[in-house]
Amino acid sequence: MKDLDKAITRHSPSKGAGSPDIWGIYEPDTGSIQYICACPKTKAAALIDVVWNFDPKSFATDTRSMDQVLELAGQHGLKIEWVFDTHPHADHLMASSQLKARVDAPNAIGAKVRDIAALWRDLYNTPDAFDPDADFDRLFEDGETFKLGELDVRVMLSPGHTLGSITYVCGDAAFVHDTLMMPDAGTSRCDFPGGSADELWTSIQNILALPDDTRLFIGHDYGAPGRDTPAWEATVAEHKEANKHVKTGTNKEDYIETREARDATLDLPDRMLAALQINLRAGRLPEAEDDGHSYLKMPVNKF
């Protein structure tokens, strides 16, 4: 695994009343961005899409990324009240269950994870696997609202990348996961089982209907031509002006054609078939067998 010294951290400060403090923590192995979202006044905070490090060669795990996130939260005196994920990730293991135990806070994801679990039970031929209602404390429906300290949070269903992805909108910030990339990179893939370019277009249009000054925080960055430094924040206005796939004036049919042609050239993520068996358990390994170790089931010649 890469040195976590390269795990760049940046603070996006609150813009005033109703606006959260955001810290983004870049995870270099998978290009993932993990987030801390906090109420400036009360210090109540949520962790979003935190990574449990995984080596796809040895299937060994470690907790360096979640340790770093928790250390950063401690440095700023934050009280973790929620552990959020936006969807069952295909490229990394989620840290949800371990964080829930470590910080004594509930974990949550979107309610349509039930449908994703049903889809992957069939793909793995494991009819009794995956019970999101048992592994997550809260399954958010589209449009649900709640408080984080004094901040208002709203859940938006944002399918396309997966059929159950959700966006968390907190004041003037939105965590838009694998919908948009940075404007110079465009948008995210939608070719996994349950994905849809048509639905992703609609989800992105709903995100871009937020106020122009809304800060959009994406799930991944892999750089772009002329830019090697990871980036993960841009406003709605910046995406509408410059996003290479969906800027203002883009035609839906052209977008779908471009997105599907690009997706047809992409390999499966090297962690995907392991990650989904774990992430559909909220980042919990299957029960250990009689030798004390957990085992995963891998379909051969199915993808």
Render pLDDT for 61-116 as a digit per residue (tens, 0 to 9). 999 999 999 999 999 999 999 999 999 999 999 999 999 999 999 999 999 999 99
Kindly tell me the number of DSSP H helices and DSSP E strands found in the chain. Answer: 8, 16
Domain ranges of the chain: 4-265
Give the per-residue pLDDT at 6: 57
Under CATH, to which class is 4-265 assigned? alpha beta
Q: Where are the alpha helices (DSSP H) in 54-112?
A: 64-75, 96-103
pLDDT per residue as tens digits for the range 133-155: 999 999 999 999 999 999 999 99
Residue 2, pLDDT > 60, answer no
Q: pLDDT tens digit string along 230-285?
A: 999 999 999 999 999 999 999 999 999 999 999 999 999 999 999 999 999 999 99
Contacts for 82 with CB less than 8 Å, ≥ 6 apart: 45, 46, 47, 105, 106, 107, 108, 148
DSSP, collapsed to helix, strand or coil, labels residue 24 as: strand
User: Which pLDDT does position 5 carry in this prediction?
Assistant: 46
Nearest to 98 by CA among 52, 162, 152: 52
